[in-house]
Structure 1
Amino acid sequence: MSEQSREPGWYQDPFGTGPEDRRYWDGDTWLAVQQTQPAQFEAPGAPAQQPPESFQGQPYAGQPYEPASQQGGWGGEQSPMGRFGAPASPEDRERTPDGVALASWGRRVAAYLIDALILALSSLLIGAALGIWGALADLFEATLQSSTSTDLTPQFEAFLTANAGTLLAFSLIQLLVSGLYHVVLVATRGRTPGKRLLGIRVRLREREGLPIWRAALSRWLLHFALPNLLSGVPGLGFVGAMFPILDGLWPIWDARRQAIHDKVAKTAVVRD
């Protein structure tokens, strides 16, 4: 007898583990309603029955059966929407799957500001070594002494032309230092100096362990490198300027308190 011509009733469970397992066929699909009957129970012609009163934790009659192997989440308790969208419980915004407390947004911002200050100091030293600040001081003095015109465009264009190579080298060195700072320290130690001072660190979201080099590189590229590069492209400067702000604010409302670069790298920032 084909399933399409089978009468509604209780039959031997095609998904069961033994001959006594029975599942209800409603004439169209197998329902997620199970019970155990004696092995001599004959399915053909059996009248439709209501699920036993002791039945708990399964969908009601009329809801199609979905095998456990197709149900999403950790340990079959969470749907795919819970995994990638809204959390299955408030714990997803507080802890990693193995129970480590997530860092608050305030601590992340404070650590970011400390790291930005350290990198700004390094930029001052790099600029001084390349002579950029001296050239800017000369430009500023020349504009103060100029009394013939209020248009400073010619002086500024002359400054850019005379120092184009130095400014390009300055930008590339800054990018390199930022990459070494964020990628190497996160991949080898799980934290930058700012994160260490605030008692937080970066780890894999799903399990304990340092981010792999690819994950550390992905975090830096998305949050730091690409926005800086876009800021120099005509028409994309606004995107380059706004994306780090959006990325930094994202943990406030995210279901797992991750920034966008955390989601791409599959990482989380946790408390020590």
Structure 2
Amino acid sequence: MSFGDPNNPYGQPQGQQPGGYGQPQQPGYGQQPGGYGQPQGQPGYGQPQQGPPQQSQYGYPQAPPVQPYDAYQQPGYGSGMPELANWGYRFGAGLIDGLISSGPYLALAVGGSPTMLLIGYAWLIAAMVFIAYREGTTGQSPGKQVLGIKLLREQDGQIVGFGKAFLRRLAHIVDALPCYIGYLWPAWDQKKQTFADKICSTVVIKSN
């Protein structure tokens, strides 16, 4: 009487492991093949995770690179960056500011006396400083306030400050040099900037 193959004393079919009552043994004591109870298809212990934070050479996660603020595409303050002011708004605001600064100067210069001319120059300089101060601290000159537009930094959409606003006023000389084409540049420029805006990295937006 034969008790079976001596190499297979329990009578199990060849090729199967003794995993308990003839069932194939599962890896990890009934766990899925992911290892240590991980669901199938998920990375298990010792397997690389997907999308880990980038590590620096010292083992600390590296901060994502700072992207430059793009005023005509990226959201600014509030729910989104307001629309850029077109050439018509900018021309109207510049006309109002020009009347405030140059109007009294021209009226005083008509007299022709040195004293009146000196007073006219003093008014012109004071008016330019005042307009730059308003633009730098509030974003709006008197003309920009009337037209509802505002001057901001292109990088982050913040107020430019008096120093940069005054420098921008001086940079308008570049706008005037090539037949005043710099003042017309916002009519077709993608960011609606004058040459002075590009030099100082500023934009003019509609504030309401």
For the criterion TM > 0.5, the same-fold answer is: yes
**Could you say which residue in structure 1 is the equivalent of 2:92?**
110
Tell me by how many angstroms 1:193 deviates: 1.2
Counterpart AA for 2:110: W
Q: List gaps (5 residues or longer) in structure 2.
A: 1-45, 48-62
**Could you tell me how far apart the structure 2 residues matched to 1:214 and 1:173 are?**
20
**Could you say which residue in structure 1 is the equivalent of 2:184?**
249
Residue from 141, 158, 162 that aligns with 1:213: 162
User: 1:96-107 alignment to 2 at 5 Å?
Assistant: 97-98=75-76, 99-107=81-89
Structure-2 change in CA distance of 1:216 and 1:176 (3 Å): same
- Higher helix residue share: 1
User: 1:188-207 alignment to 2 at 5 Å?
Assistant: 188-207=137-156
- Higher strand residue share: 1
**Could you tell me how far apart the structure 2 residues matched to 1:213 and 1:133 are?**
32
**Could you tell me how far apart the structure 1 residues matched to 2:150 and 2:122 are?**
26
**Could you say which residue in structure 2 is the equivalent of 1:268?**
203
| Secondary structure of residue in 1 paired with 2:152 | strand
**Could you tell me how far apart the structure 2 residues matched to 1:267 and 1:246 are?**
18
**Could you tell me how far apart the structure 2 residues matched to 1:192 and 1:255 are?**
23
Please, what TM-score do these two structures have when normalized by structure 1? 0.44
The reply on whether 1:133 has 2:110 as its aligned counterpart is: yes
User: 1:133-152 alignment to 2 at 5 Å?
Assistant: 133-135=110-112
| Secondary structure of residue in 1 paired with 2:204 | strand
Tell me by how many angstroms 1:172 deviates: 3.6
Structure-2 change in CA distance of 1:244 and 1:203 (3 Å): farther
Tell me by how many angstroms 1:255 deviates: 2.8
Tell me by how many angstroms 1:183 deviates: 1.2
Tell me by how many angstroms 1:97 deviates: 4.9
Counterpart AA for 1:100: P
User: 1:44-123 alignment to 2 at 5 Å?
Assistant: 74=68, 93=72, 95=73, 97-98=75-76, 99-123=81-105
**Could you say which residue in structure 2 is the equivalent of 1:152?**
none
**Could you tell me how far apart the structure 2 residues matched to 1:178 and 1:105 are?**
23
Structure-2 change in CA distance of 1:176 and 1:222 (3 Å): same
Give the total of aligned pairs: 147
Please, what TM-score do these two structures have when normalized by structure 2? 0.56
Tell me by how many angstroms 1:166 deviates: 4.2
Contact 1:191–1:201, Cα closer than 8 Å, also in 2: yes
Counterpart AA for 2:101: L
Deviations 1:176-205 (A, max 9, x none): 124223211111221111111111011111
**Could you tell me how far apart the structure 2 residues matched to 1:96 and 1:173 are?**
42
Structure-2 change in CA distance of 1:258 and 1:182 (3 Å): same
Give the number of the structure whose alpha-carbon radius of gyration is greater: 2
Contact 1:96–1:206, Cα closer than 8 Å, also in 2: no
Tell me by how many angstroms 1:222 deviates: 0.9
Counterpart AA for 1:252: A
Contact 1:96–1:205, Cα closer than 8 Å, also in 2: no
Q: List gaps (5 residues or longer) in structure 1.
A: 1-38, 41-68, 76-82, 84-91, 136-162, 228-238
**Could you tell me how far apart the structure 2 residues matched to 1:209 and 1:167 are?**
40
Identity of aligned pairs, percent?
30
**Could you say which residue in structure 2 is the equivalent of 1:176?**
125
| Secondary structure of residue in 2 paired with 1:270 | strand
